[in-house]
Amino acid sequence: MSLPVFRFAPSPNGPLHLGHAYSALLNHDLARQADGRFLLRIEDIDRERSRTHFERAIRGDLAWLGLDWEEPVRRQSDHFDDYRTALDRLIEAELVYPAFLSRGDVRALIAEKEARGGAWPRDPDGAPLYPTIERDLPARERRARIEAGAPFAWRLDIDAAMERVSGRLDWREDGAGPQGEAGLIVADPRIWGDFVVARKDLPTSYQLSVVVDDALQGVTHVVRGRDLFHATSGQRLLHELLGLSPPTYLHHDLILGEDGRKLSKSRGDTGLEALRMSGLTPHDIRRMVGL
């Protein structure tokens, strides 16, 4: 039997807060309890928002908390080739298509449909599902647009993708979902519609790189905040389409601010660095997050 593998996978686009500390500590503790491995992964595909000084600060905060992780750390921006290979498989399997619509185009199209009655479906984050009108664009037209330099993302044709799934698509949940459910959860990737597999500026997206990395790193346990519970449905589908075996999941509670709202990287009060400067110890942080 190979060892259990856990990972903490922050995006270096801001300082860590108490919620990240909880997630990192929980992953680390569970890995230790299981005699497993603990990995740190830097999710920096977003070149516009990622900063190396945030990565340094993340390492500093985690070390201060008393965590140690394996080196070298996987930094997503060093591995675009891996995501490109996975994307190419989906292109060859004709499961993705170039999507040219701008946000403005999508808004206008939806406004027009909604004016004629009926609410347009939305994803779990409240964003409207992408219209499916480009799925059957003739190959000639696609080529012409690409050659003319039109920017495009690669989106999954969710209907074609679901047809490739044989049997029930589910995952093992050791935490709890939004309705408190644990155990075997049935994935429902359709809630995301034709979701983005590769963004307009990149050969990948959050969903694709997470799935590829977890598989390449042999991650067996994904432990992360409940805000990513629904994202798991899309990830499970990608495992299936790419022939990867899924990890088990534990979606933990989010640490909320005193006002009951989700913490964000822009809120200084619960930033780890500020807490540390105020004289708190790693032990205090553990106590504050209930560990």
Contact set with ligand GLU (CB under 6 A):
9-11, 43, 210, 224, 228
Nearer to ligand GLU, 34 or 228 (CB): 228
Q: Which is nearer to ligand GLU, 6 or 97 (CB)?
A: 6
What are the structure tokens assigned to 37, written together?
Answer: 């491995």
Alpha carbon of 113 to those of 86, 110, 129, 158, 190: distances in Å? 35, 5, 13, 21, 20
Cα separation, 239 vs 208, whole angstroms: 9
CB of 264 to ligand GLU, least distance (A): 11
Q: Nearest distance from residue 106's CB to ligand GLU, in Å?
A: 24
Which residue number, 224 or 236, has a Cβ lying nearer to ligand GLU?
A: 224
- 74 or 224: whose CB is closer to ligand GLU? 224
- Beta carbon of residue 10, minimum distance to ligand GLU (angstroms, whole number): 5
Distances (CA, A) of 192 to 137, 232, 271: 21, 11, 31
Amino acid at the residue 78: D
When the beta carbons of 9 and 169 are compared against ligand GLU, the nearer one is 9
Cβ of residue 116: shortest distance to ligand GLU, in angstroms?
Answer: 37
Residue from 156, 146, 140 nearest 94 by CA: 156
Query: How many other CB atoms are there within 10 angstroms of residue 283's CB atom?
Result: 10
Q: Are 70 and 6 in contact (CB under 8 A)?
A: no
Q: What contacts 78, CB < 8 A, 6 or more positions away?
A: none
Full strand arrangement of the beta sheet holding 196-198: 96-99, 153-156, 196-198
Q: How far is the CB of 279 from ligand GLU (least distance, A)?
A: 28
Q: What's the closest the beta carbon of residue 206 comes to ligand GLU, in angstroms?
A: 7
Q: How far is the CB of 79 from ligand GLU (least distance, A)?
A: 14
Closer to ligand GLU at the Cβ: 58 or 110? 58
Residue with smaller CB distance to ligand GLU, 99 or 198? 198
